[in-house]
Chains A and B, each alone.
Chain A
């Protein structure tokens, strides 16, 4: 039972354009959501997060949108750069889980073409 899903395994975008990565969740107890980026041979690194009391959080080129009623969040990268090419994971957390356990989606591989 996948509680966090990323339905697009890959996404290809031209440099300078917008990248939109999507994530859906089923557990209504999740109240904190995060995006991680992963390069090959490295561990995931934190990118941006959003609390369930907000619907948008922005950090430079990265914006995360949360639609609680639809149990959907998205990550927007504008403008996309070749260095953004990586696997992106969305993750969710909530106090019904053990401590601050993260539940991850399956990841979306983003390729930004020069």
Chain B
């Protein structure tokens, strides 16, 4: 069974640029959530996708957008990058929308905005 994978591992961008991060969910999981983890803090929920539709969103501006594909993999897009967007971006998948709790996390993408 393949776990959650994310690419790339590290990324350096400059302010104002756009970035796309990718996530492959664990086999059999149809729900993907994205989290931003700033240094020294806990992960913060960005949004969740269930069967290719956004199912919920945290307190993040519209320049954070996402997609989920028919194979349940997902992308996180961030436009007009700001210095504060520097963080670890975590993707998590779960087997169903209903059923609270355990999510399976990938190793994350470390984004640095200069």
- A64-107: which residues lie under 8 A (CB-CB) from chain B? 89, 91, 93-95, 97-107
B101: A residues at CB distance < 8 A: 32, 34, 49, 93, 100
Within 8 A of A (CB), among B41-83: 41-45, 47-48, 50, 55-58
Q: Assess whether B33 is in contact with A44, with CB atoms less than 8 Å apart.
A: no
The answer to whether residues A100 and B99 also contact, given A42-B107, A43-B108, A44-B90 and a CB cut-off of 8 A, is yes
**Known A100-B31, A101-B58: A107·B107 in contact at CB below 8 Å:** no
Q: Are A98's CB and B107's CB within 8 A?
A: no
> Is there an interface contact between A104 and B44, defined as CB atoms closer than 8 Å?
yes
Chain B interfacial positions (CB closer than 8 Å to A): 4, 31, 33, 35, 40-45, 47-48, 50, 55-58, 90, 92, 94, 97, 99-108
Could you jot down 26 A-B contacts, CB within 8 Å?
A: A4-B42, A6-B42, A9-B40, A31-B100, A36-B105, A42-B107, A43-B90, A43-B105, A43-B107, A43-B108, A44-B90, A46-B102, A89-B42, A93-B100, A93-B101, A98-B47, A98-B55, A98-B57, A99-B33, A99-B48, A100-B31, A100-B100, A102-B35, A102-B92, A106-B40, A106-B41
Give me 12 other A-B pairs in contact (C-beta within 8 A), A32-B101, A98-B58 excluded. Answer: A31-B100, A41-B107, A42-B107, A43-B107, A44-B43, A99-B55, A100-B97, A101-B48, A104-B42, A104-B43, A107-B41, A107-B42
